[in-house]
Copies of this chain bind each other. A is one copy, B any other.
């Protein structure tokens, strides 16, 4: 053992020491409790998936440059999953004939993306993957959007601290079609998707390249929720039954949540086929998208099956930063009270195990034993105190 290795974790990954682990555990436990209370069942699968399936699903970005893909010793092209939805689709497809649909499932698991690490973005991260599969659009979309609001409330978040913006691929498609912009769609969606990242001028310039000046202005008005342009867009939505549920029923279910039908929610050029939504932190210092989701009715095609599905996937890192930004962490985590045990010598060990520890377990307390017989009584006492022990029991002194 002559070589000395670096103690740093692998680039873009984190070591969670006990204090930090408690925070992540609080998030996972709270997520899990909320999901189970809402009738969802937990599943899990391996971090290794078929690399080619990701490339087929996600194309260049997630499936290409960002993918941790390797060849194993058996010459299989494998990948560390960059997200959890593909595995969900695979599991549903594999037991397609045995499952009772709709399935309401969740999983909490880690993913890898080869990216430049930055605030809120690590190469390894965890997601809470939530999906309902085997149900057409409508009430289950309402359920998923409602769950998004519930997730925030479970952590004690208040109306002004977050907002959930939603849209629909169907509404977008009908809106562009009705206005004769079908061929300009790709650029229109791209511009709307970048709405918050660029100026209105930039958006207008991009749109003017694919539609007339008057139409570009109309699209901008829709993005800004202004006048007749917005009214027309809203009416298209109201004519669709699941959007009616969102627009009319959802505000009554969640009167204390900021839920807005919003033209600028696009979610990339991804595989969504209906509802799309995104949740935001409203804190000016952490003004960012926290998670998103939507309906994906074609994903199981990859595995030769057909089932409507809808879901969302909050991540541990952005969620943790949301709790930081509004100071929503509990004052203390649900830890056991720890009693310090200080034996005078090895002679006292037997009674610690036969008398003291069984009693502490009955009382629901934890313990820490100090064996530094050679140190002074005071120093040993201080050490146990610093390690978080309340009461200290001395034996044989």
Which of A17, A24, A36, A301 has the largest number of chain B CB atoms within 10 A? A17
The reply to whether B37 and A104 contact each other, CB–CB distance below 8 Å, is no
Q: Closest residue to A98 on the B side, CB-wise?
A: B17
Q: Do the beta carbons of B303 and A7 come within 8 Å of each other? A: yes
A152 within 8 A of B: no
Contact of A74 among B8, B11, B72, B245 (CB under 8 A): B11
Cβ of B386 and Cβ of A7 under 8 Å apart? no
Which residue from chain B places its CB closest to the CB of A139 in the assembled complex? B371
Among B38, B112, B353, contact of A146 (Cβ-Cβ < 8 Å)? B353
A349 interfacial by beta-carbon distance below 8 Å? yes
Bitwise, A324-340 to B at CB < 8 A (1) or not (0) is 00000000000110100
Note all chain B residues with C-beta closer than 8 A to A57.
1
The distance from the CB of A170 to the nearest CB of chain B, in whole angstroms, is 17
Which one of A42-50, A158-166, A173-181, A260-268 is at the interface? A42-50
* Stretch from A87-95, A183-191, A213-221 contacting the other chain: A87-95
Task: Give bound CA distance, A344 to B351, whole Å.
Answer: 66
CB of B48 within 8 A of CB of A21, answer no
- Tell me the count of chain A residues lying within 8 A, CB to CB, of chain B: 91
The answer for the CA separation of A78 and B5 in the assembled complex, in Å, is 13
Most buried by B among A22, A74, A138, A350: A350
B47 touches A47 (CB 8 A): yes
In the complex formed, the residue of B with least CB distance to A3 is: B56
What residue in chain B is nearest A17 (Cβ atoms)? Answer: B43
Instruction: Assess the A94–B7 pair: CB atoms within 8 A.
Output: yes
**A42 partner residues in chain B, CB cutoff 8 A:** 18, 21-22, 25
Q: Which of A202-210, A223-231, A360-368 binds B?
A: A360-368
Complex formed: what's the CA distance from A281 to B80 in Å? 34
**What are 27 inter-chain pairs, A to B, with CB distance below 8 A?**
A4-B302, A5-B50, A5-B303, A7-B303, A8-B94, A9-B46, A10-B50, A11-B74, A13-B46, A16-B43, A21-B41, A21-B42, A38-B367, A39-B338, A39-B368, A47-B110, A47-B124, A68-B72, A70-B70, A139-B349, A139-B369, A139-B371, A143-B369, A146-B353, A241-B346, A249-B349, A249-B353
Give the 6 A-B CB pairs with smallest separation, nearest first. A13-B46, A7-B94, A18-B41, A253-B353, A16-B44, A4-B304
Interface residues of chain A, those whose CB is within 8 Å of chain B, are 1, 3-11, 13-18, 21-22, 24-25, 36-39, 41-50, 52-53, 56-57, 68, 70, 72-74, 76, 78, 90-91, 93-95, 100, 104-105, 110, 112, 114, 124, 135, 138-140, 142-143, 146, 241, 245, 249, 252-253, 298, 301-304, 335-336, 338, 346, 349-350, 353-354, 361, 366-369, 371, 383, 386-387
